[in-house]
Amino acid sequence: MHHFLVSDYANPSQPYSISRDSKRAVSEARETIAKCIGAEGDEIFFTSGGTESDNWALKCAGDFSRRRVITSAIEHHAVLRVGEDLKRDGGEVSYLPVLPDCTVNKGELEKIIDDNTRLVSVMLANNETGALQDIASLSDIAHRHGALFHTDGVQAAGHINIDVKSLGVDMLSASAHKFNGPKGIGFLYVKNGTKIHSFISGGKQERGMRAGTENVASIVGMATALKKNADSIDDTAHYLHSLEDIIIEELKGIDYIRNGSANHLPGSLSLSFPGKDGEALLHVLDLKGICISTGAACDSKNTQISHVLKAMNVPEEYAKGTVRITLGPENTKEDARRIGKELGRVTQFAAQS
């Protein structure tokens, strides 16, 4: 990245000779990313991140004589708010419910899909619980009805093995900062032959599909990060699951619910403690140098439980006291033990809702 920021900063889309190296770097990055997800190089389009990739897929792909998009109730707002845009523009959007373990029941999709459905979009891994969806079965149902299938793979890319062909998806969104790459860069995988028009219009970059001068340094950084993660993905997953076990062991004897499915992103825990305030837990742990997230946000009057916990029907008493822990390979076993111990301590003695 440094090289392409300070030395070799030519515009890769220009025909002159000093652009040759940056052009080659962009092309190599595209091939590297494609290989990591079982795609072809010309199926990868660079974007500014997950939000843009999701917007592009939902707003611009498929047969527009069909008015309906089906998505799930647990999507990130980068999909849910696009649904609002589509409705405002006269489209129809339906939301699949989830089971209590945060997985989409494919029978529900069978029940509601029809020949007016342009696109089905279901995320590969949920950003709150880490729950993984049965994307291959869902994409198969969509295709049997002539609809396209998009998956938001932002949380999953670089953390689980992804093969777009066996998932059967037409489009997959990813964002570099979720796999230790730079912020503000991502990609959309678009299967060759998919009917899609550009979302950002202007110049001819990205084969006329995504205008704007390429962010060469970030593209190179993203490819390097994804390859690095992909090369050690199984070992990292095994290690992160072992860290989860340490935290769970430290919480023995404490009343809580672990949200999500047994099939989840490595190192991802969503835990709900009854009678507690997730945001207060966040701040107490922050003071101890432990950075976690919540599943509920407080304003001056109310606690807003996340749409994901609501969709899963987590009892309110528990949902309000939800914390989300995301572990990475740089976390040690000692970190996990300390997180478990401190969480046990603060949920026993502090942060009542």
Binding interface with ligand PLP (CB under 6 A): 49-51, 54, 76, 78, 123, 127, 152, 154-155, 175, 186
Sign of dihedral through CA atoms 242, 328, 124, 92?
positive
68 or 76: CB nearest ligand PLP? 76
Cα(131)–Cα(140) distance, integer angstroms? 20
51 or 129: CB nearest ligand PLP? 51
From the CB of 168, what's the least distance to ligand PLP, in Å?
Answer: 20
185 or 339: CB nearest ligand PLP? 185
217 or 351: CB nearest ligand PLP? 217
From the CB of 300, what's the least distance to ligand PLP, in Å?
Answer: 26
Residue ranges with strand state E in 176-317 = 186-190, 257-259, 268-272, 293-294, 296-298, 303-305
205 or 218: CB nearest ligand PLP? 218
Q: Active-site residue 291, yes or no?
A: no
Which three-class secondary structure state does DSSP give residue 23? helix
The catalytically annotated residue of 60, 102, 291, 298 is: 298
**Distance between first and last Cα of the chain:** 46
From the CB of 154, what's the least distance to ligand PLP, in Å?
Answer: 4
Cα(217)–Cα(222) distance, integer angstroms? 9
Angle subtended by helix axes 77-88 and 50-60, to nearest 10: 30
Sheet containing strand 268-272, strands side by side: 257-259, 268-272, 322-326, 293-294
From the CB of 144, what's the least distance to ligand PLP, in Å?
Answer: 26
From the CB of 151, what's the least distance to ligand PLP, in Å?
Answer: 10
Contact 55, 79 (CB under 8 A): no
What backbone torsions phi and psi does residue 196 show, to the nearest 5 degrees?
Answer: -155, 140
Catalytic positions: 298
